[in-house]
Amino acid sequence: MSLRLKLDKPTANLGVLLVDYGTDTRINYRETTTTASQGLMFIGGESCVGQSTADDDGCYLRAGHNTATSGFHVVTRGILDAQNHKSLSRQAPLTPGKSYQITWKMLPQDYEFKAGHRLGLVLTGANDDFNLDVTGNGSETDVEPGTGAKVTIDLAGTSIALPLVTGTPIK
């Protein structure tokens, strides 16, 4: 992801979401309950493999896919504190009002886009959705406060590079 931008403060939290827009039944990674977590639905019982040891009984909870039907899916994301655009270990605050080209990587993710779906790019100023529980609530210690910076983006200077593979769909 590469943005040409100006800030009105020395830094801002920058986030980008790559979104698949199109109704589909997908793995539900967001739900965390007593019976579901990280895309798995616990279906009861155990499966045991191999011999038990003192440290491992070789048994695992039986699980299947936890799915949900929705009109969109966040495929991947990337986040960056703008003052760390040159180095993650050294801050370099930006000059308010000056244009900068800031480039950062999104988290790698294999994903198959279905025919007729649209790709979307959502720019965010904070990444609170990772910090919220299943009810949409967070606590004072886990909600990102943001910087309150105004970010002006030059769309002509904005680009995204996606490694795409075409061919036979995954089954």
pLDDT digit string, tens, across residues 60-116: 989 999 999 999 999 999 988 999 999 989 999 999 999 999 998 898 888 888 999
Q: How many percent of the chain have pLDDT more than 90?
A: 47
Closest by CA to 2, choosing from 101, 79, 95, is 101
Rounded CA gap, 20 and 53, in Å?
Answer: 45
Q: pLDDT-derived band of residue 34, with 50, 70 and 90 as boundaries?
A: confident
**What is the predicted pLDDT for the residue at 154?**
95
Closest by CA to 30, choosing from 70, 63, 58, is 70
**What is the predicted pLDDT for the residue at 53?**
92
Instruction: For the chain, give the number of residues.
Output: 171
Rounded CA gap, 54 and 18, in Å?
Answer: 45
Rounded CA gap, 122 and 146, in Å?
Answer: 17
Are 14 and 125 in contact by the 8 Å Cβ rule? The answer is: yes
User: What would the mean pLDDT of 33-62 be, rounded to a whole number?
Assistant: 90
| β-bridge mates for residue 102, sequence order | 3
User: What would the mean pLDDT of 54-59 be, rounded to a whole number?
Assistant: 92
> Could you tell me where the beta strands, DSSP code E, fall in 40-96?
40-48, 59-65, 67-81
C-alpha distances (whole Å) from 130 to each of 6, 24, 41, 45 are 26, 22, 20, 31
**Domain 2-29+67-159 -> CATH class:** mainly beta
pLDDT digit string, tens, across residues 117-150: 999 999 888 665 555 544 555 555 555 566 788 9
What is the residue extent of each domain of the chain?
Answer: 2-29+67-159
Rounded CA gap, 19 and 38, in Å?
Answer: 19
